[in-house]
Structure 1
């Protein structure tokens, strides 16, 4: 089993989402000690897609410049990690009711027509099928699944668009109001996660 472990919280060791993703990965590897883990800390920065990215990555020039090749290589590295993974463990801290900018940038980097999805006569088809995603949702005040939560539905949708429909959440919400209760809910959800 190949696990891709992704964190995006900017709060370092104080991050609850980082603590939860580490617990999820520990549970998966305890049950499957031969599992390989690739770790990616998006808080270190993920380039936003822009006009240069579009001309390099999306338009795929036959003879890219050195600058274009660097943009292609970055995007390919992110996508290759996802393609190689059987399980994605993603930390989803909620900032201003939604996902972090770094995590959104990462999805923009890996959503590549012809590689991670394609358009067909029947509509779009995800090409990253057969994978599982476990999401550590953490929020100080945004209840998981509420009308204020613009992140979990987006993650389920974008992962499904890419072909990943086996999506589970380990939510720790309401941390600003009752931290212990929020962490207890996350531990209960974690206990239900099968390896």
Structure 2
């Protein structure tokens, strides 16, 4: 088994998503001791925003800038890692109703026509291999799941579900801890519930 593990929180040791994503990978490793793990901390080693040079390169422009060449190579490596992974584990904190900028910049490197999707006669076709699974650790300060008043403001989970589905990765497991900003018992209850879901994972 190959596991691709990403963290995107800017909160370091205070991050709920980092704690839960680490526990998820540990759980998977306990079940699959032979598993190979590739880890990226997208906050500690951020991916630059896309610029005009990236777009030009995708359309065949010559790249002479060494920094851009290195960044394009890094993006290609991200794609290779995603394609090779059997399980993708991502810590996904909600910032201002959506994903972090750090995670969005990684997404911009892996959504590439001809590599992770292509356009067919009837629309886009995802190119990620079948059988791939993703475990997405969603952490939110408020309550945004179905049935809550703020559910319409959730542009975090639908975004990732849509993007991965577009690429052909539709086997998604969401582990959710929300209401974390309420502190005290509410936070501990949410974290305990998420940990119970992690412990019940069977892959």
TM-score normalised by L of structure 1:
0.94
Partner of 1:70: 70
Contact 1:7 1:21 in 2 (8 A): yes
Counterpart in the other structure of 1:154:
159
**Residues 30-109 of structure 1 mapped to structure 2, 5 A cutoff:** 30-44=30-44, 45-56=46-57, 58-61=58-61, 63-67=62-66, 68-109=68-109
Alignment partner of 1:115 is 2:115: yes
**The residue matched to 1:187 in structure 2 has which SS?**
helix
CA contact (8 A) 1:144 1:152 kept: no
Cα distance in 2 for residues equivalent to 1:41 and 1:170: 19
Gaps in structure 1 of 5+ consecutive residues: none
1:184 aligns with 2:189: no
Q: Report the RMSD for the aligned CA atoms in angstroms.
A: 1.4
Give, in whole Å, the separation in 2 of the partners of 1:60 and 1:166: 33
Name the CA distance, whole Å, in 1 between partners of 2:191 and 2:107.
27
The reply to whether residue 4 of structure 1 matches residue 4 of structure 2 is: yes
Q: How many equivalent residue pairs? A: 193
Which residue number corresponds to residue 170 of structure 1? 175
Deviations 1:84-131 (A, max 9, x none): 211100000011111000111111111010000000002111111321
The residue number in structure 2 matching 1:134 is 135
**Distance in 2 separating the partners of 1:47 and 1:147:** 30
Task: Compute the displacement of 1:50 (Å).
Answer: 1.5
Give TM-score, length-normalised by structure 2. 0.90
Between the aligned partners of 2:166 and 2:38, the Cα distance in structure 1 is 23
Q: Alpha-carbon deviations, 1:62-93, whole Å to 9, x = none?
A: x5314342232121121111112111000000
Say whether the 8 Å CA contact 2:3–2:88 is kept in structure 1: yes
Corresponding residue SS for 2:115: coil
- Whole-angstrom distance in 1 between the partners of 2:39 and 2:23: 14
